[in-house]
Structure 1
Amino acid sequence: MAKARFRERPFLISRSLFPLPRTQIDPHEQQRDVEAAGCAGPPYRPARDQPCAAGRAVLQRLPAAFSRRSSGGARTTHGHRPSKPRRLQGHHPRRASGSRHECGSPGREAEPRTAGRHLRGVESMSLAEIGKPGNITSRLLENEKARDCLIPMGITSEKVAERFGISREKQDTFALASQQKAARARSRGCFRDEIVSVTTTILDDTKGTKKRITVSQDEGIRPDTTMEGLSKLKPAFKNGGSTTAGNASQVSDGAAAIPLAQRSKAEELGLPILGVLRSYAVVGVPPDIRGIGPAYAIPVALQKSGLTVNDVDIFEINEAFASQAVYCVEKLGIPPEKLNPLGGAVALGHPLGCTGARQVITLLNELKRRRKRAYGVVSMCIGTGMGAAAVFEYPGN
């Protein structure tokens, strides 16, 4: 089969991008990606006379009124059809795996449908229109499973914690570890090769004047986080609940980009090999506890690649909420030292349409730093009741 190849890509997650709509955030990534692939062009637009050899671009973002994706999932569930709602952050590993084709036999590489792709994810949650789910009929609301698709994400986190006995202390401990790992990684320069600086104009709230700033690092990392501080935070979604602003992912803006190519195209262009996509899987889970998706998607992806949990060096599991991440880690028996070694979404942020690509980038760069052949898994829960997982191999120097 043809070979899937990735190169390290930059990413950026920042609250300072608030003034920039998605159409302005993404070109920063696009131009950097095009230049890295050897396709020159004017700033922030593809060169028309020398298109990128990847041949195809795929952009993933969340709909402006992102709560409406729940109503779509509810409609398909109500109709008793196989549900294929918009896969949000799970979109990028799926695109990498070859879109309509699932990854193949154990030990074999995934096959992209084209010679190359330019995968991009961008999100501006600061400017997102958070509204009602849209037009919902009474018949749909009478269907319990369909109705569960409309449950807010924060409440699903509470349901996971209650149903599986994930205590507030466990969630806060997990969140603290994420912040500490991210702070340590940033101080060591682990994100330096991944981040593209963005210069923009913001409104100074204190003075009411505009000023130019340059964002060059993730802004959600809090090195001074303590258990005492986390324990003082009030529940964010439910009285007496355990999900807080400290143990949940952050509302963030950001963009990420990944060039993907068949082996023959990568060799033709002389591109270095950063990673091999081995397998990919998507599974369905109950919508009211959708955060448990990775616990069921990861075993399927590992089986497809002929690997076990013990064979994997790094697990990049999205930390939408500490409750669901703790459940997945305990369910699969993942050693703490293998989980999100550079921190996760609790510290780095979770721009929904960008996260899948960001995870792949962080994973492959960390595998590269280890200077040996290694395997990594990227996984996340998705929208209205799914989990996605992809297995990558770093071939070594």
Structure 2
Amino acid sequence: MKRAVIVQAKRTPIGKAGGILRDLEPQELAAPLIQHLAYGLEEEIDDIILGNVVGPGGNVARVAALEAGLPFSVTGLTIDRQCSAGLEAIRLACYLVQGGAGCCYIAGGVESASTSPFPSRARFSPEKIGDPDMGIAAEYVAEKYAITKEMQDEYALLSYERSWEANEKGYLNQEIIHIGNLHQDEEFFRKRKMDILLDRAKPIFKKNGTVTAANSCGIHDGASAVLVMEENMAINYGFEPKLRFLDGEVSGVHPNYPGAAPIPTIQALLKRNQLTIADIDLIEINEAFASKIVACTKELSIPYEKLNVCGGALTVGHPYGASGSIMITRLFYEVQRRKNIKYVLAAIGSGGGIGVAVLFEVVT
């Protein structure tokens, strides 16, 4: 079996909906990433695979590839698995390499909530089963797993502090390519007194609930992608592989509890690979809501010390289709700053009750 490795990873700055990236359509966000990752390999790219959730429809990956000036032969594939779309794009690219379908892919995701033509979200599930908005679903997860507001706020504050520390150390800048004169995530323009905001924030999705604006992510724009290659090809082209794909998993849960979808997904992935949480050195789980993170850590016995160590979407933002790729980009750089790291894992839960998880080993 051929081995798929990640040799490069980048993202754009992340902007608030209506913020610094408001005038850029999805293909304009993705094209600079594609140009950067494809440089010197333009004739070798087998495909561009991008996740996209809120529009504009059509094959965004194809349009972005053309916008980037790639050869017409590079077709482009756009997938929608809601918030897990970017991670699914990478999982798919890795499997295509493993199966021998190709040797070189750019995979990730892009989202422009600012330019989306859709006035409301798509349906996640039939009403007869349950089709809650994600905020209400986060409340359902909190109730099911006995997650209090205090537990959520504690995690949200930890994530905020980690994000700011990573930004101030320059870690996040390593991930970012400039978009025009933009080179920093919008959320870092001004520091907030998060402990006070968390204490004051009231439930916004349910009366007497626990999910607030302060322990939830916002709506954002951004893009992220990685260069996936067959390992021997990568070495022959002078790249140093950093992450080697081992396995991926997708699982479904009741649509009322999408935030809990990473739980069975990670369990199945670890069981198949005869691993436990103790074997995984770094874990990324998308921070759409603090309730889902606390529920996942509680059910899977994940220590906070190895989870989202540079913060995540609660602070930086959650550009839906791009978030899974942002997590892999974060891991790509974090493993290079650490020693004795063997296994890393990323997982995300999305609308409709779908979980996706991907397992990598660090190439040494």
Verify the 8 A CA contact 2:262 2:356 in the aligned structure 1. yes
Could you report, residue by residue, the CA deviation over 1:313-358 in whole angstroms, capped at 9, with x for unpaired residues? 1110001110111100110001110010000110111000101111
The normalised TM-score by structure 2 is 0.86
Q: 1:165 to 1:254 in 2, by over 3 A?
A: same
Q: Pick one of 136, 144, 154 that aligns with 1:173.
A: 154
Once residues 363 and 316 of structure 2 are traced to their aligned partners in structure 1, the CA distance between those partners, rounded to angstroms, is: 27
Residues 1:257 and 2:257 aligned together: no
Could you report, residue by residue, the CA deviation over 1:248-268 in whole angstroms, capped at 9, with x for unpaired residues? 112111011111111122122
Could you report, residue by residue, the CA deviation over 1:284-316 in whole angstroms, capped at 9, with x for unpaired residues? 101001110111111111223332100111110
Residues 1:272 and 2:266 aligned together: no
What SS is found at the alignment partner of 2:171?
coil
**What's 1:153 paired with?**
134
Q: Pick one of 47, 59, 63 that aligns with 1:56.
A: 47
**What's 2:330 paired with?**
362
Alignment RMSD: 2.5
Residues 1:14 and 2:15 aligned together: yes
Distance apart, 1:240 and its partner CA: 2.3
* Identical residues among aligned pairs (%): 29
Verify the 8 A CA contact 2:38 2:45 in the aligned structure 1. no
**What's 1:241 paired with?**
209
- Partner AA of 2:166 in structure 1: A
Q: Pick one of 205, 211, 219 that aligns with 2:186.
A: 219
Structure 2 unaligned blocks of 5 or more: 58-78
Could you report, residue by residue, the CA deviation over 1:72-92 in whole angstroms, capped at 9, with x for unpaired residues? xxxxxxxxxxxxx94134234
**What's 2:179 paired with?**
198
Once residues 118 and 159 of structure 1 are traced to their aligned partners in structure 2, the CA distance between those partners, rounded to angstroms, is: 36
Q: Pick one of 26, 29, 43 that aligns with 1:25.
A: 29
Verify the 8 A CA contact 2:10 2:224 in the aligned structure 1. yes
Could you report, residue by residue, the CA deviation over 1:146-170 in whole angstroms, capped at 9, with x for unpaired residues? xx1x211111011111222111111
Alignment of 1:66-105 (within 5 A): 86-98=80-92
Verify the 8 A CA contact 1:364 1:394 in the aligned structure 2. no
Once residues 227 and 94 of structure 2 are traced to their aligned partners in structure 1, the CA distance between those partners, rounded to angstroms, is: 18
Q: 1:351 to 1:134 in 2, by over 3 A?
A: closer
Q: Pick one of 318, 321, 329 that aligns with 1:353.
A: 321
Verify the 8 A CA contact 2:108 2:324 in the aligned structure 1. no
Once residues 2 and 338 of structure 2 are traced to their aligned partners in structure 1, the CA distance between those partners, rounded to angstroms, is: 26
Once residues 104 and 295 of structure 2 are traced to their aligned partners in structure 1, the CA distance between those partners, rounded to angstroms, is: 36
Once residues 122 and 309 of structure 2 are traced to their aligned partners in structure 1, the CA distance between those partners, rounded to angstroms, is: 39
Verify the 8 A CA contact 1:98 1:111 in the aligned structure 2. no
Verify the 8 A CA contact 1:277 1:393 in the aligned structure 2. yes
- Partner AA of 2:256 in structure 1: D
Distance apart, 1:389 and its partner CA: 0.7
Residues 1:328 and 2:296 aligned together: yes
Q: Pick one of 151, 155, 169 that aligns with 1:188.
A: 169
Could you report, residue by residue, the CA deviation over 1:190-248 in whole angstroms, capped at 9, with x for unpaired residues? 1122101112xxxxxxxxxxxxxx22111224643332221212222223222111111
Once residues 64 and 279 of structure 1 are traced to their aligned partners in structure 2, the CA distance between those partners, rounded to angstroms, is: 29
Distance apart, 1:113 and its partner CA: 3.3
Verify the 8 A CA contact 2:54 2:113 in the aligned structure 1. no
Residues 1:117 and 2:108 aligned together: no
Structure 1 unaligned blocks of 5 or more: 40-50, 67-84, 103-108, 200-213
The normalised TM-score by structure 1 is 0.79
Once residues 261 and 24 of structure 1 are traced to their aligned partners in structure 2, the CA distance between those partners, rounded to angstroms, is: 24
- Partner AA of 1:257 in structure 2: A
Q: 1:127 to 1:341 in 2, by over 3 A?
A: same
Verify the 8 A CA contact 1:8 1:194 in the aligned structure 2. no
- Partner AA of 1:305 in structure 2: N
Q: 1:65 to 1:238 in 2, by over 3 A?
A: farther
Q: For the pair shown, which has the larger CA radius of gyration, 1 or 2? A: 1
What SS is found at the alignment partner of 1:9?
strand
Verify the 8 A CA contact 1:98 1:112 in the aligned structure 2. no
Verify the 8 A CA contact 1:121 1:355 in the aligned structure 2. yes
Q: Pick one of 227, 230, 233 that aligns with 2:198.
A: 230
What SS is found at the alignment partner of 1:380?
strand
Once residues 334 and 132 of structure 1 are traced to their aligned partners in structure 2, the CA distance between those partners, rounded to angstroms, is: 35
- Partner AA of 1:33 in structure 2: L
Distance apart, 1:373 and its partner CA: 4.1
What SS is found at the alignment partner of 2:164?
helix
**What's 1:131 paired with?**
119
